[in-house]
Amino acid sequence: MDVFWHQRDLRIADNRGLAAATANDTTLAVYLLDNRVVGSIGERQRAFLYAGLRQLRAEYRHHGSDLVIRAGDPLEQLTELVAAYDAETVYYNTHYNPARRARQRRINDALPTKSVGDLTLVDPAVLDASYRSHSQFYNDWQTLEKPAPARPNTEALATVSDETPVPPLEAAVELPEAGYQAARDRYDQFLDDGIETYNDTRDDMHLAVEQPIGAVSRLSPYLAAGMIGIRELWAAATERYETANADSVRRNIEKFRYELSWREQNYHLLYNNPNLPTENYKQIPNPIAWENDPDQFEAWKAGRTGYPLVDAGMRQLEQEGYIHNRPRQNVASFLTKHLLVDWRKGADYFAEKLVDFDPANNSASWQWIASTGTDSVDVRIFDPVAQLSKYDDQAVYIKAYVPELRDVAAEKIVDWPNLSTAERDELAPEYLEPIVDRNTAYERAQRVFEQALGNQ
């Protein structure tokens, strides 16, 4: 008998650690409720993980087995289970965030374990330790072979039953349906309705309202919880790519595969830099003069900055636990550049609110936006007016999330921070004045970051 220890890999299909265990011996699947890990993530994501656990248990029961759930110190729980079932080895998939790594080390020191790389297509350890930009990473990454989906042997699952309940937890937002089947259905929908136009539609913010699944996949909550395997996604996208009958279709599918490489790089960064969630990745010669104004930070969180794009994005986060990638970039840029609030505060807030919070993607993306990460541009500042004009000129996304602006003409919404106070007041008396001046804030950010970089 072996034990397979589930963590953020709440699925049977394409689970490499489970495949390795079931290829070796009869396997007992377990999940450990560890407050130091699940207690540190936001309530919304925790509720989604618990819903996923219930689905996973149903899958095991369907195969005549069960998911054994234990709460408490993971080493103590695993030690007891190993003794009770006379298990030889504890298998698990390697996770890279610092808390999980520390936990894995403790368990490796005390029990016979085998860990397997599963989270990424390419094992982060096989690539160079440091790339300065995504394109350098991508050049190497794309030449490496990507493994086929793993196939656990469900015949080898232990015949057991366990009644330990999954804790009940309701989220304050509507969650996507959890579990592998829901993830697979969503991906199938995207393969049918979205992947062939993905490059053309992924930045269209009005589609975030009109075609939320399709213009992008919205698989991030499932990937972050490990409810679908990355090799399974890659294989299906690759099959579509290889059977596509037009260059334009191939270009769109290729863009989807390319976006997955960002996630791969972010894991590679976290693997090589365990401090990525807390320390600047880039060596910056001078301190960044963060303002960290508490009132402005609160206004940002509440979606009350008077910048329509920023407020719509933050309100989508509040209402759905998700933000489309384009506004996600903009709200992060506005916080770290226009308001000069330290990226760590924004990243922590996202970790609390996102259902798709992922330790690698979140910290690496915040650092990229804050110019402390791997962006090849020294100081990039997203201009919320230009961005809105380019990606939502009819203000469809804005009107969906900022009702105060529903009756205002789109061109006025796009230009909102440039209008006079009197005009703003007349057009939408309920909406807010911008909390910072667009040009002053932009120039201040430029100055502060150039100084930090030693360019001034």
Ligand X SMILES: Cc1cc2nc3c(=O)[nH]c(=O)nc-3n(C[C@H](O)[C@H](O)[C@H](O)COP(=O)(O)OP(=O)(O)OC[C@H]3O[C@@H](n4cnc5c(N)ncnc54)[C@H](O)[C@@H]3O)c2cc1C
- Can you tell me whether residue 139 is helix, strand or coil? helix
Q: How far is the CB of 321 from ligand X (least distance, A)?
A: 11
Kindly calculate the radius of gyration of the chain based on its CA atoms and give it in whole angstroms: 23
Task: Identify residue 248 by its one-letter amino acid code.
Answer: S
Instruction: Pick one of 358, 374, 395, 397: the residue that binds ligand X (CB under 6 A).
Output: 358
Instruction: Pick one of 332, 413, 448, 452: the residue that binds ligand X (CB under 6 A).
Output: 332
Instruction: Pick one of 15, 104, 362, 372: the residue that binds ligand X (CB under 6 A).
Output: 362
Q: Which residue, 115 or 211, is less far from ligand X as judged by CB?
A: 211
- Kindly state whether residue 354 participates in binding ligand X, applying the rule CB under 6 A: yes
Q: Which residue, 158 or 317, is less far from ligand X as judged by CB?
A: 317
Segment lying near ligand X (by CB under 6 A), choices 117-125, 140-148, 360-368, 386-394: 360-368
CB-CB contact of 181 with 238 (8 Å): no
Helices (H) and strands (E) in the chain, counts: 22, 5
Q: Tell me the Ramachandran region of residue 163: left when phi exceeds 0, alpha when psi lies from -120 to 50, beta otherwise.
A: alpha
Give me the residues paired with residue 31 across strands.
6, 69
- Kindly state whether residue 336 participates in binding ligand X, applying the rule CB under 6 A: no
Give me the residues paired with residue 32 across strands.
70
Separation of alpha carbons 332 and 323, rounded Å = 11
The pattern of x and - marking residues 254 through 273 that bind ligand X according to CB under 6 A reads: -----xx-xx--x-------
Give me the residues paired with residue 70 across strands.
32
- Residue whose entry in the numeric block shows the structure tokens 């149903």: 58
- Kindly state whether residue 366 participates in binding ligand X, applying the rule CB under 6 A: yes
Q: How far is the CB of 71 from ligand X (least distance, A)?
A: 26
- Can you tell me whether residue 162 is helix, strand or coil? coil
Instruction: Pick one of 32, 33, 208, 224: the residue that binds ligand X (CB under 6 A).
Output: 224
Q: How far is the CB of 441 from ligand X (least distance, A)?
A: 18
Find the binding residues for ligand X in span 280-319 (CB under 6 A): none
Separation of alpha carbons 336 and 320, rounded Å = 23
CB-CB contact of 56 with 179 (8 Å): yes
- Kindly state whether residue 65 participates in binding ligand X, applying the rule CB under 6 A: no
Q: Which residue, 87 or 354, is less far from ligand X as judged by CB?
A: 354
Q: Which residue, 382 or 416, is less far from ligand X as judged by CB?
A: 382
Q: How far is the CB of 210 from ligand X (least distance, A)?
A: 15
Q: Which residue, 25 or 259, is less far from ligand X as judged by CB?
A: 259
φ, ψ dihedrals at 129, nearest 5°: -70, -30
In the sheet where 2-6 sits, what is the strand order? 67-71, 27-33, 2-6, 90-93, 113-116
- Kindly state whether residue 329 participates in binding ligand X, applying the rule CB under 6 A: yes
Size of the site for ligand X (CB under 6 A): 27
Q: How far is the CB of 11 from ligand X (least distance, A)?
A: 15
CA–centroid distance for 93 within its chain: 18
Separation of alpha carbons 422 and 376, rounded Å = 41
Q: Which residue, 78 or 121, is less far from ligand X as judged by CB?
A: 121
Q: How far is the CB of 291 from ligand X (least distance, A)?
A: 19
DSSP state of 175: P
Q: Which residue, 226 or 308, is less far from ligand X as judged by CB?
A: 226
CB-CB contact of 89 with 24 (8 Å): yes
Q: How far is the CB of 243 from ligand X (least distance, A)?
A: 20
Q: How far is the CB of 228 from ligand X (least distance, A)?
A: 10
Q: How far is the CB of 224 from ligand X (least distance, A)?
A: 5
- Kindly state whether residue 369 participates in binding ligand X, applying the rule CB under 6 A: yes
Q: How far is the CB of 6 from ligand X (least distance, A)?
A: 20
Segment lying near ligand X (by CB under 6 A), choices 141-149, 155-163, 239-247, 352-360: 352-360
Q: Tell me the Ramachandran region of residue 340: left when phi exceeds 0, alpha when psi lies from -120 to 50, beta otherwise.
A: left
- Kindly state whether residue 223 participates in binding ligand X, applying the rule CB under 6 A: yes
- Kindly state whether residue 387 participates in binding ligand X, applying the rule CB under 6 A: no
First to last CA, the chain: 64
Find the binding residues for ligand X in span 159-218 (CB under 6 A): 202, 216-218
- Kindly state whether residue 356 participates in binding ligand X, applying the rule CB under 6 A: yes
Q: Which residue, 49 or 69, is less far from ligand X as judged by CB?
A: 49
Q: Which chain residues interact with ligand X by CB under 6 A?
A: 202, 216-220, 223-224, 259-260, 262-263, 266, 325, 328-329, 332, 350, 354, 356-358, 361-362, 365-366, 369
